[in-house]
Structure 1
Amino acid sequence: MNQIDPETRTRLEAAAFRRLLEHLRQRTDVQNIDLMNLAGFCRNCLSNWLKEAADASGVPLSKEESRTYVYGMPYEEWKARHQREATEAQRRAFEESKPSH
């Protein structure tokens, strides 16, 4: 991407980020703990990174607003609709993979 100008690169990255969010919104079967165990990040991480970027840019964005943007609905609503209790195996894998998060 060296030959792409910074503005175009930003547009492409933003489009890829929006597509990732849409994909995660559709894949409600994939739990955050699964994402953490496999990739070292989850939807909450994405919302935290979004808030950190807003803070660094002086853009007012609350934690709840960033989560609503990432989840496509209020976080508590997403949890009530889609979050399942983590299995013992998932919790164990999370604890084992913690250093890489």
Structure 2
Amino acid sequence: MEEDFLMKQFKTIGQSIGIILKKELTSFHLGEELDVNGQLVSRADLLSDSLDQNDFEGAFTLIDSLKYKLSYLDYTMLADWFINYLEKEKATLISDQQIQTFKEALNSLY
């Protein structure tokens, strides 16, 4: 029993390190939600679409809505990924002040 617990912990840590190193959105398991037509849609697809369309507020809102649905570790990794993505990939399209606002809001526990 103890070996199973330890193996699960090692697996979780390994997956977390892999996500951090890869920094790929597809590595996150965000679940699904209903769209306006009542169809199940992947939250990862919704987030990807928002970022592709430069809808940073929409992406932020989606991530913030997952604050209490994901584990603390998964949520903080997703939030860190989002901020790093904005800083590196979209720096010319969004102000540093807006990125800082997103960062502070995502890091708050309220």
Q: Same fold, TM exceeding 0.5?
A: no
Task: Classify the TM-score, shorter chain.
Answer: 0.3 to 0.5
Q: TM-score, normalised by structure 1?
A: 0.37
Structure with the higher strand share, 1 or 2 = 2
* Greater RCO structure (CA 8 Å; 6+ sep): 1
Length-normalised TM-score, structure 2: 0.34
Looking at secondary structure, tell me which structure has more helix per residue: 1
